Amino acid sequence: CKILRCNSEYVAATLHLRGPDRGAAFCTALRSYSLCTRRTARTCRGDLAFHSAVHGIEDLMIQNNCSKEGPTAPPRPRPPAPNPHGFESLDICDYERSFLYKHGRPPGFQHCAAFGDPHIRTFHDDFHTCRVEGSWPLLDNDYLFVQATSSPVAKGSNATVTSKLTIIFKNMKECIDQKVYQAELDNVPAAFQDGSVNGGARPGGSSLVIWERSPGRHVEIRAAYIGTTIAVRQAGRQLSFSIRAAEEVARAFTEEQDLQLCVGGCPHSQRMSRSPRGRGRVPAETAQALCREMLPVEDVYFQSCVFDVVTSGDTNFTMAAHGALEDARLFLPDAEKLHIFQ
């Protein structure tokens, strides 16, 4: 069965295609891909990758309004194979390209965020407000460890905010050295703890990079070798964390790694209502008006904003909720799940 050859020829033919003008060339590549799969149908009947590719092609042709009739591109000349599998060794550090090569379709992704009080949006689109003082793991899997340290939002308050984030990108022999990123209030660096800005001296070191979006306030860490992007922000006196992770990466953990706020949300004993009782530091009507300026849709991001401003008296929390919503807009694979209503 030579389905992997069909997959790699399709990847090579579409890799450079970008933007709104790619239509005709993309459809030509899809027809070529379809023709290649038909030629291998007899020997690939029992191969899951083959059936996945066939269904993926049908979906892509429908999505892109491609006709089944039309020109097909001749196969691209194949360079001498650098390894027995005919796949560039460095491509193992490009997760999305590698996944497409192996499975004939793009990978799926999941989104998690922690911001404000803190409020947690889990990979499964559950939403909790937590009373988690001290250090708690947001993620703990085979590739990543992320720990958030929380402290009281104000003296005598039950509400807490994230004051420190520690992110460990675990050693991946083919691609990166282990890297540790740490952010604290008023110290959101655009570098790892060792001063580097990428994954190190290994051949795939550039598959892990830090980008400074706003000096001292917003960084983005792209880990292409695991198909993952992380955003860290500071708004007022709190830090926020957002991640877009490949499904395979998000699920790579054992039963012993069961406490992960991004996976299971807050433990029941640590969950809070977002309807604070008693006197707040800002009247609820004032907080609602402030939050509505940044968050016109009255979803959980809006509710969280109101809760945080009432509880803390800090209007910068409107920026925290707004930043989390903007990250969700960028990172969510399904735009229809952007707003959560409870």
pTM to 2 decimal places: 0.73
The torsion of the CA quartet 48, 51, 55, 60, rounded to 10 degrees, works out to 80
Q: Are 168 and 178 in contact (CB under 8 A)?
A: yes
- H helices of 147-255, in order, are 247-250
Q: Are 333 and 113 in contact (CB under 8 A)?
A: no
What is the distance between the alpha carbons of residues 159 and 266, in angstroms, rounded to a whole number?
Answer: 14
DSSP 90-140: GGGG-HHHHHHHHHSSPPPEEEEEEETTTEEE-TTS-EEEE---EEEEEEE
Q: pLDDT digit of tens for each residue in the chain (342 aa)?
A: 778 888 878 887 877 776 666 778 888 988 998 999 888 888 887 777 888 888 888 888 888 888 888 888 765 544 434 444 444 444 789 999 999 988 888 999 999 999 998 999 999 999 999 887 889 999 999 999 999 998 887 666 666 789 999 999 999 988 999 999 999 999 999 999 999 999 988 888 999 999 999 999 999 999 999 999 999 999 988 999 999 999 999 999 998 888 999 999 998 888 888 775 555 778 999 999 999 999 999 999 999 999 999 988 889 899 999 999 999 999 998 889 999 998
